[in-house]
């Protein structure tokens, strides 16, 4: 499974990229607004830090304006994935961009039927939102299982399942067990993957026992 970080915070992106475990970045208008920075220069900076896909989302909802915005975004860097909403206009833009060789991330997916449409439109990534489904008393991970199952039936589909709206490490591990291709997560959720009380307890014991030897490796 590939790990993308869902943020527009440059410090977090640099820190996670330095681990060698980061495969890409996703952003959206809300994250850009939270950063307080100018959109295009910020995306350019992120693309310089990360060699993997960087999702930059259109702001328009109508086809003509969305298409024009997509033209601007795709020229920022070779690793840009233009992010479009799962709407008729968004899928039309997706098809045109995909046919032209541009990566496309279709976002705001909440059903397997929508995911099927995105794959037929040539999406590079489909972003089902598991956490937001959980919020309305549905099981978001069920959607991941459905999409993975459907896509596996059709070898001509090359759309990767990008698990979005991830709230906790369980979302990641369960999605990985199902065969999802990517998880995009807030920085704190990625860092939470390291944590286990037995790791902390074992390390503390090793450190204490080593002190008793009075030795130094250096």
Token digits of residue 103: 């990566």
183 belongs to a structural domain:
yes
CA distance 169 to 67: 36
59: three-class secondary structure by DSSP: coil
Number of domain units in the chain: 1
> Could you give the angle at the alpha carbon of 101 between the alpha carbons of 97 and 103, nearest 5°?
70
- Read out DSSP for 148-211? HHHHHT-TT---EEEEBS--SHHHHHHHHHHT-SEEEE-HHHHHHTT--HHHHHHHHHHHHHHH
- Whether 218 maps to a domain, the answer reads no
Nearest to 160 by CA among 138, 140, 175, 142: 175
Give the structural domain span for 11. Answer: 2-213
Q: What is the pLDDT along the chain (218 residues), one digit of tens a residue?
A: 999 999 999 999 999 999 999 999 999 999 999 999 999 999 999 999 999 999 999 999 999 999 999 999 999 999 999 999 999 999 999 999 999 999 999 999 999 999 999 999 999 999 999 999 999 999 999 999 999 999 999 999 999 999 999 999 999 999 999 999 999 999 999 999 999 999 999 999 999 999 999 999 99
**Confidence at residue 58, expressed as pLDDT on a 0 to 100 scale:** 98
Active site residue 92: no
Here the CATH number for the domain that contains residue 7 is 3.20.20.70
b/e map of 19-57 (b: 16 or more CB within 10 Å)?
eeebbbbbbbeebbeeeeeebeebbeebbeebebbbbbb
The CA-atom distances, in angstroms, between 173 and each of 68, 129, 204, 218 are: 38, 15, 26, 38
Q: Are 181 and 160 in contact (CB under 8 A)?
A: yes
**Predicted pLDDT of residue 134:** 98
What is the C-alpha separation between 97 and 71, in angstroms, rounded? 9
Selected catalytic residue, list 68, 83, 201, 212: 83
Q: How far is CA 55 from the centre of its chain?
A: 8
pTM (two decimals): 0.95
């Amino acid at each position: 499974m590939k790990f993308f970080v869902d943020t527009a915070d440059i410090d977090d992106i640099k820190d996670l990229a330095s681990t060698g475990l980061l495969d890409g970045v996703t952003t959206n208008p809300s994250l850009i607004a939270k950063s307080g920075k100018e959109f295009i220069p910020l995306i350019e900076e992120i693309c310089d830090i990360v060699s993997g896909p960087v999702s930059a989302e259109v702001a328009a909802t109508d086809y003509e304006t969305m298409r024009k915005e997509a033209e601007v975004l795709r020229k920022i860097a070779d690793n840009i994935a233009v992010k479009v909403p799962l709407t008729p206009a968004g899928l039309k833009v997706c098809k045109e961009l995909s046919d032209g060789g541009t990566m496309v991330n279709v976002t705001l997916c909440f059903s397997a039927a929508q995911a099927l449409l995105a794959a037929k439109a040539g999406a590079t990534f489909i972003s089902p939102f598991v956490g937001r489904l959980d919020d309305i008393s549905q099981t978001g991970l069920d959607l991941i299982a459905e999409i993975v199952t459907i896509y596996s039936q059709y070898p001509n589909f090359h759309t990767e399942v990008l698990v979005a709206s991830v709230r906790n490490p369980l979302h990641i591990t369960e999605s990985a067990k199902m065969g999802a291709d990517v998880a995009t997560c807030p920085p704190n959720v990625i860092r939470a993957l390291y944590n286990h009380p037995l790791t902390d307890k074992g390390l503390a014991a090793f450190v204490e026992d080593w002190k008793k030897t009075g030795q130094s490796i250096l």
